[in-house]
Chains A and B, each alone.
Chain A
Amino acid sequence: MVPSLPDVPIRVTVNGTVRHSTVEGRLTLADYLREDCRLTGTHLGCEHGVCGACTVLLDGDAVRSCLIFAVQADGAEVTTVEGIGGPDGALGVVQEAWRDCHGLQCGFCTPGFVVTVTAFLRDVPDPTDGQIRDALSGNICRCTGYQGILKAVHQAAGHAVSGPGQP
């Protein structure tokens, strides 16, 4: 049994809103976002750092929120999938591409991919196919066979993409 640690006050900017909270020391950032902030777009597919469903931006870096404690985000800025599109509900470029290319089926892995790719294309705006595959290799999707996902990243990067299904 994990000995209980004292509760800790934290200040985190989540999707632009400053939040003051007091959290258990062992609370993960993922659970903080899902339970305390009620931002349930961040999903948990493994809770051991492999599937990438829980990916969020922490001061701009894509991180696995299941492997980080909420207290480690004290003073930081966090962006979740809910903060990727416009406040009016408009989808961002990556999200649009995912929809156009049928990059999602059940949608459970999707927030992690959208956040990962948003950071990736910011850093590597014109990636090769190999770079794209490497960038996606920390996220697991069980539904799509990655076909629509690969196409979506190319589209979001501004590459010419033929119709779904065509290589």
Chain B
Amino acid sequence: MSATTGAGTTRYAGARINRVEDARLLSGRGTYVDDISRPGMVHACFVRSPVAHARILSIDVTAAADHPGVVAVYTGTELNAGVHAQWHSSVGPAGPETPRPPLAEEKVRFVGDPVALVVALNRRLAEDAAELVEVEYDELPPVVDYETAESNPILVHEAHGSNLIGSMAGVASEQMADAFAGAAHVVSETIRQQAYVPVPMEGRGLVVDYSPASGEMTIYSATQSPHEVRLFCSRLLDLPEHRIRVVMRDTGGGFGQKIMVQRDEMCIMLAGLLLGVPVKWVEDRQENLLAAGQSRHEHAAVRMAFDSGGRIEAAQIDFVSDCGAYPTPWPVGTAAVVGSLFPGPYRVPRATFTAKAVYTNTVGRSAYRGPWQFETLAREVLLDIAARRLDMDPMELRRRNLLRRDELPYTNANGMPYDRISPMETFEQALEMLDYEAFRAEQARLRTEGRYIGVGLSNYVEPSSPGFGYYATEAATIRIEPSGKVNVYIAGGSTGNSIETTVVQLAADALGARIEDVATIQGDTAVTGFGAGAAGSRSGSMTAGAIRETSAILRARLAAIAAHKLEAAVEDIELADSRAHVRGAPAVSVSLGELAEVAYFDPFSLPPGIPAGLEASARYTSDTRFVWVNATHLCTCEVDVETGGVTILRYIVSEDCGPMINPNVVEGQIAGGVVQGIGGVLLEHLAYDEAGNPMATTFMDYLLPIATDVPIIEYGHVETPSGGPGGYKGVGEGGAIGAPPAVVNAVADALSPFGVDITRLPLGPAQVLGLLGVD
């Protein structure tokens, strides 16, 4: 049954292994941040601005401070004085970041801006007292419309001198003029996406437990990156990094929102240091929708030039993103990625972009699964519009332009070096899974009955597992304990990404251990080496690298000890089923436990040169800048032209994520992202009114997909190994990238008899009826 050898041949990787996280989570024994209770713990509640833009004239905390059970009330004056430095490791100290006072000073800049912090013996008392804080505001006109923000004389941050945070660009647009002037067809549109957000079911939160006597601080945090929380806090408070320990066992989803420390969390760190007793803050849903960040709110003027045969000759995108008042992190780099990826997995000989990020008096931009996904939305929607204008089949138009394997590696016109991808293969596989011709026939037949079904497709190529700077390495420590049981220490931490299971699968294979003999300890900075956390679809590839490097050291030691004990040659030792065997003589073997016993308790019997114990640490350094991943999403839907309702009929994803470590996990990640994308098109809208008031601060107004909204997702798999460890690729973000344009194109295709183009989101029933000219 086992094919594992000393080289660690695949045994568990690739299998649909049940998750090791599940038993605790299913029985209510997970440990999320709100489950943490510490002796003497007090609870924090924010006083937040009810207005979008105002000068703070005065803050009166007297009544709140006198309220029973209140421990402290802080305003910016007290709390912000404790800030030493506040920069994120992925950006660096010199990054052009927005100044972020933990509590608002002088001005509030969005509804939800934290103005004061009340700490009390329990959360209810803190909430009561927060209502007693009196803040006098002198209201200013707010900057709400980001499309005009750059020219608006009202400034969100006066010191910045402009509402334009920054911009980046490719080659000058004039240099592209001839490409468009001489083309057989030029298709241009402006495409707009509304704000929608990650909405993890668990909000943000942390418990800060500082002991003044020892100078030690323990932070329990809902985070995707415990090591970054520690680094950030250490700089913020000027505490030595090794005096801070950050622990996260279970985080209730993040999707990008919990990668970076934001202002609210800074406040709790500062208050924890001042108070010297454990302080807890767990945001409620309203705070999450008000203050945890916005994403996706952006638009672009896009154009493509085609020759008479529909071949793309040039592409250009001029992109602007709404970054609210306090974007985290600096948003201009991500905006530029939208520009550079706009050509997608197509043969586009010439391309350029401009990318701008602007301030408004709304909640700050933060990361959401595939933060650059607008490039795919804009490109794929434009391609469908182009197909209609050129009177071509949209799939045929794509087929003529998609990159083929024999053209790889291929550097796109903006300099992105694609390799080891298969866009043509995923595209054809998805169409075949649908039976495209049959669908078109059915569509024609139903139209004669007055029913409107449509098909939409999107292709993308995405950079996963960034291999530079802060993200470029990952460490593992593996201990084969004296009993022979294995523990793998890796930064990780469960945020829904199944990283515990992944680590156990990979380590069991790498050491030839039975999976039940392997456990993993994650999410605790005291015992794991630095790792950048769950971001950039990096966990799979990077942890595979870390485990590969570390287990190689231990395998060599196990083989040496076994060879010595079994009187065989080291090269003849194979590791499988938690035993070392002699090749060709399976009966001659020794268990991991027996080897560990020698290594720990009989060190003088070890072969020469082999150290005692069976522990090793190593750090993997990525050898590629990016691990490229591609996929095709295909959606069919029916539009009810009476009600404007959209029903998704089929949803197909064909992806190339390389070999799968666990197909359940791969499909689960894709499904989650796809449904977030479907929600983003059909339901979700973090809307603001013209005065900058948020209109969706509960789940009554911010509508999320539920079980009655979703199709069964069908998966196709094409496998092109990456150049990274195990050939694995990142799959965490793609679902949310590919889905929105597939859905938009399906709706537009269904409505094509009405001659409509869809260039504005979302597509709720009212908007669909609007497209049809019905009010």
Report the interface size for chain B: residues with CB under 8 A from the other chain: 65
With A and B bound together, what is the CA distance between A165 and B673 in angstroms? 15
Set of chain A residues within 8 Å of B201, measured between Cβ atoms: 43, 45, 51, 53, 106, 108-109, 140-143
Contacting pair A143 B496 (CB below 8 A): yes
Contacting pair B667 A91 (CB below 8 A): no
If A141-B201, A142-B200 touch, does A81 touch B699 (CB 8 Å cutoff)? Answer: no
Set of chain A residues within 8 Å of B285, measured between Cβ atoms: 45-48, 51
Contacting pair B202 A43 (CB below 8 A): yes
Name A69-85 residues within 8 Å CB distance of B. 80-82, 84-85
With A and B bound together, what is the CA distance between A148 and B252 in angstroms? 17
Contacting pair A95 B675 (CB below 8 A): no
The reply to whether the CB of B431 lies closer than 8 angstroms to some CB of chain A is no
Contacting pair B672 A144 (CB below 8 A): yes
The winner among A35, A143, A148 for most chain B CB atoms within 10 A is A143
Contacting pair B672 A142 (CB below 8 A): yes
Q: What are the interface flags for A126-151 relative to B under an 8 Å C-beta threshold, 1 for contact and 0 otherwise?
A: 00000011101111111111111110
The winner among A2, A106, A109, A145 for most chain B CB atoms within 10 A is A145
The reply to whether the CB of B177 lies closer than 8 angstroms to some CB of chain A is no
Report the interface size for chain A: residues with CB under 8 A from the other chain: 65
Set of chain A residues within 8 Å of B704, measured between Cβ atoms: 140, 142
Set of chain B residues within 8 Å of A106, measured between Cβ atoms: 25, 200-202, 250-253, 494-496
Contacting pair B496 A147 (CB below 8 A): no
Set of chain A residues within 8 Å of B671, measured between Cβ atoms: 144-148
Q: What are the interface flags for B21-45 relative to A under an 8 Å C-beta threshold, 1 for contact and 0 otherwise?
A: 1110111111110110100000000
Set of chain B residues within 8 Å of A150, measured between Cβ atoms: 707, 712
If A89-B23, A106-B202, A143-B253 touch, does A48 touch B699 (CB 8 Å cutoff)? Answer: yes
Contacting pair A46 B698 (CB below 8 A): yes
Which residue of A is nearest B498, CB measured?
Answer: A105
Which residue of B is nearest A81, CB measured?
Answer: B28
With A and B bound together, what is the CA distance between A132 and B712 in angstroms? 14
Q: Which label, helix, strand, loop or mixed, suits the secondary structure of the B interface?
A: loop
Contacting pair B16 A163 (CB below 8 A): yes
Contacting pair A105 B28 (CB below 8 A): no
The reply to whether the CB of A110 lies closer than 8 angstroms to some CB of chain B is yes
Name A37-87 residues within 8 Å CB distance of B. 38-48, 50-51, 53, 80-82, 84-85
The reply to whether the CB of B19 lies closer than 8 angstroms to some CB of chain A is yes
The reply to whether the CB of A11 lies closer than 8 angstroms to some CB of chain B is no
Instruction: Choose among A2, A53, A80, A143 the residue that contacts B672 (Cβ–Cβ < 8 A).
Output: A143
With A and B bound together, what is the CA distance between A89 and B663 in angstroms? 27
Which B residues are within 8 Å of any A CB, using their own CB?
Answer: 16, 18-19, 21-23, 25-32, 34-35, 37, 122, 124, 128, 131-132, 198-202, 250-253, 255, 284-285, 494-498, 663-665, 667-669, 671-676, 698-700, 704-708, 710, 712-715, 735
Query: What are some 24 contacts across the A-B interface (CB < 8 A)?
Result: A27-B124, A40-B31, A43-B202, A44-B34, A44-B284, A45-B285, A48-B700, A50-B698, A50-B699, A81-B28, A82-B28, A91-B27, A98-B26, A102-B668, A104-B26, A105-B672, A107-B252, A109-B201, A136-B706, A136-B708, A145-B705, A145-B713, A146-B706, A147-B667
